[in-house]
């Protein structure tokens, strides 16, 4: 089973907690980490202590075939950032119908709602337990992925956004008359 992380490589993004969760523990998966940044070398050092296959891809353009293939072939998306505004990478994972694991960041929670599993920030043991459950339960992964995809379609497509704007305009105009 493939696990995907797409992020800038800063300490606050929390990728190190995934690698710490895997230190000395085996999971039936491979980890693909996409992104670049000043924390990348530290993350590569941490990955050496994991028995799980971890591959660093560096920065990949959003239009690249490699990134598209990673989204299409991965079952689990992990994003353990400390603080975000509106992470687009979660929308991409939702589009791909992936099971999503995030940290308790309000910006990430706003995007995924109840369509993801949430672990406390900086808690590698809980992250490991969550990933272990998902890697052992492909049916649960599929359910979470379908739920994420439905949330995306109901809230973040152009049509859904236009409908919400239209309802807001109707409400505002109705109050003025």
CA atoms within 13 A on the CB side of 11: 1
* Mean pLDDT computed over 149-171: 92
**φ/ψ (deg, to 5) at 36:** -140, 160
Torsion angle of C-alpha atoms 70, 73, 76, 80, degrees rounded to 10: 0
Q: How many helices (H) and strands (E) does the chain have?
A: 8, 6
Predicted local distance difference test score (pLDDT) of residue 174: 83
Predicted local distance difference test score (pLDDT) of residue 173: 87
| pLDDT value at 176 more than 70 | no
Q: What is the pLDDT of the chain when averaged over all its residues?
A: 94
Distance, CA of 166 to CA of 67 (rounded, Å): 35
Tens of pLDDT along 131-154?
999 999 999 999 999 999 999 999
Tens of pLDDT along 84-96?
999 999 999 999 9
The CATH H-level (homologous superfamily) assignment of domain 2-176 is Glycogen Phosphorylase B; (3.40.50.2000)
**Pairing mode of beta strands 117-119, 53-58:** unpaired
Q: What is the pTM of this model?
A: 0.92
Tens of pLDDT along 32-44?
999 999 999 999 9
Task: Quote the tokens at residue 113.
Answer: 């709602």
Q: What is the DSSP string of 67-112?
A: HHHHHHH-SEEEE--S--S--HHHHHHHHTT-EEEEES-HHHHHHH
């Amino acid at each position: 089973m493939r696990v995907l992380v797409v992020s800038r490589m800063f300490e606050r993004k929390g990728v190190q907690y995934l690698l710490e969760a895997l230190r000395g523990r085996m999971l039936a998966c491979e980890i693909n980490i996409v992104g670049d940044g000043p924390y990348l070398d530290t993350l590569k050092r941490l990955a050496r202590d994991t028995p799980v296959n971890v591959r660093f891809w560096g920065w990949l353009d959003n239009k690249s075939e490699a990134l598209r293939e990673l989204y299409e072939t991965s079952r689990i998306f992990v994003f353990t950032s400390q603080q975000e505004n509106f992470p687009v990478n979660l929308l991409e994972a939702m589009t791909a119908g992936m099971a999503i694991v995030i940290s308790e960041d309000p910006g990430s929670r706003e995007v995924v709602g109840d369509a993801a599993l949430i672990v406390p920030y900086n808690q590698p043991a809980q992250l490991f337990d969550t990933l272990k459950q998902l890697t052992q339960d492909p049916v649960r992964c599929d359910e979470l992925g379908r739920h994420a995809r439905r949330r995306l379609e109901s809230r973040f497509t152009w049509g859904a956004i236009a409908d919400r704007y239209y309802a807001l305009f109707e409400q505002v105009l109705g109050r003025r008359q």
